[in-house]
Amino acid sequence: MTNRMWGGRFSSPPGEIMEEINVSIDFDRRLFAHDIAGSIAHAAMLAQCGIISRKDAGEIKRGLAQVQSEIADGAFTFSRALEDIHMNVEQRLREVIGDAAGRLHTGRSRNDQVATDFRLYIRECIDMLDGQLAALQTALADKAAAHAGTIMPGFTHLQSAQPVTFGHHCLAYVEMFARDRSRLADARRRMNESPLGAAALAGTSFAIDREATAKALGFAAPMRNSLDAVSDRDFVLETLAAGAIAALHISRLAEEIVYWMSAQFQFIQLSDQFTTGSSIMPQKRNPDAAELCRAKAGRVIGALNGLMLVMKGLPLAYSKDMQEDKQMTFDALDNLSLAIAAMAGMVKDLKANADQMREAAAKGFSTATDLADWLVRVLAMPFRDAHHVTGELVALAEAKGARLDELSLQEMRAVEPKITDDVFSVLSVEASVASRQSFGGTAPVNVEREAKRWLEILAAEKGNA
């Protein structure tokens, strides 16, 4: 038999392969609550405009509430023959309330219906991700406050560069995730317009009130062009783009956790909660949670690229290609959410090995820049000359197998006669980090102040939520 929802034009059912490639209920069923919310708002608007009776609208609302309860309770039987969540809900509604269910689809199409459902879903995901990222920021800011003075090596090219504090390093990621939240908020603001009532592509001849349905569903306004309303997936692309950058930041932090945990670094420890062992090497403690977070970025970035490739060649308005937008998006946002939660857990769980970090920070001539700065500041030497002198002193120390602060004053003066014993006041890693008090610098006083500021901001956000 043909599908009652659209089969009047057809005399036989679709072939088995056609049904298999066409069906989406296996994955779009997760939109059931959003679909029902849109239908309730649409029915109420139709009654308000006198397009259907208030009695029918009341029956539709009652029936949809029952359908939602059945799905939520796991008592609903989904039919693949009905293709998608929209038809499954409408067919069950007809079984519950009878012919009045047939009036629900007046003035709308599955095209604007799915666009509305998906916007509601993406908006909900953005709100969830924002809360998770805020929790991750809080974990990092807490760690920064606790380690404002814990010295570690700062790297460029993964080579020891200058001493920084572990707290300062944590706050760098707080800033990154703040930008991620800002991008998500921007995407949410731009996507918060309602496609409902655009119908298939051209609008409808019924005198509907799109402002009413937009307001009922929490949208700022209805979309202004019916063609754009049903064919746009920018809102998904923007969310995936923001999510991909957030996943990239998660991956960078995960990468650092992986090498910080290694025997070569030993900067941090993670407990049994976020590590696993080896099936053959009993000594191993593997940072698998961090490694999996690192890998999740590929799935999110892949979803963004995949949807861009789906959309790049589509003419206006709707094409069935756009059914492929959901699986990759669901997977990407699910995995991003999991990665954020796992990273927040690891940040809270990790213990910093302060002595090991400090010892590593003292290696690699990490206070060489402090020496060059001293030559500029005290001896009024041009920086390029100071850089050259410092390079000679580094070469001398390297040849002796010594640190810069282990060179004697006599050895230093052999390179630059004007150097005084005051130079040793800047050559310790403690002096180095303490001196970096410029705005945004790593000085412990800066880190304490900035960690406190962030914790106050995040607490206020949570209190206002």
pLDDT band at 10 (very low <50, low <70, confident <90, very high): low
Mean per-residue pLDDT for 46-61?
98
145-160 tens-digit pLDDT: 999 999 999 999 999 8
Please give the Cα distance from 304 to 307 (Å, whole number). Answer: 5
Share of the chain above pLDDT 90, in %: 91
pLDDT in tens, 227-253: 999 999 999 999 999 999 999 999 999
Give tens-digit pLDDT for 64-108: 999 999 999 999 999 999 999 999 999 999 999 999 999 999 999
Does the annotation count 278 as an active-site position? yes
CA distance 319 to 334: 26
pLDDT at 237: 98
Q: What is the DSSP string of 378-401?
A: HH---HHHHHHHHHHHHHHHHHHT
Instruction: Residue count of the chain, please give it.
Output: 465
Q: Is the peptide bond before 317 cis (omega within 30 degrees of 0)?
A: yes
CA-CA-CA-CA dihedral for 242, 243, 244, 249, to nearest 10? 100
Listed in sequence order, the DSSP H helices in 73-155 are 85-97, 110-146
The active-site residue out of 12, 157, 279, 438 is 157
Residues in contact with 121: Cβ distance below 8 Å, sequence separation at least 6, in sequence order: 30, 31, 34
User: What is residue 336's predicted lDDT score, i.e. its pLDDT?
Assistant: 98
Active site (annotated) includes residue 157 = yes
pLDDT in tens, 99-144: 999 999 999 999 999 999 999 999 999 999 999 999 999 999 999 9
Only one residue has tokens 């570690």, namely: 152
Distance CA 387, CA 372 (A): 6
Whose tokens are 């034009």? That residue is 9
pLDDT digits over 431-455, tens only? Answer: 999 999 999 999 999 999 999 999 9
Q: Say whether pLDDT at 12 is over 90.
A: no
What share of the chain in percent tops pLDDT 70?
A: 97
Provide the whole-model pTM.
Answer: 0.93
pLDDT at 276: 87
Q: 11 pLDDT band (50/70/90 cuts)?
A: low
Catalytic pick among 278, 319, 408, 425? 278
d(C-alpha 226, C-alpha 218), whole Å: 19
Report the amino acid identity of residue 72: A
Q: What is the dihedral of CA 396, 399, 405, 407, to 10 degrees?
A: -60
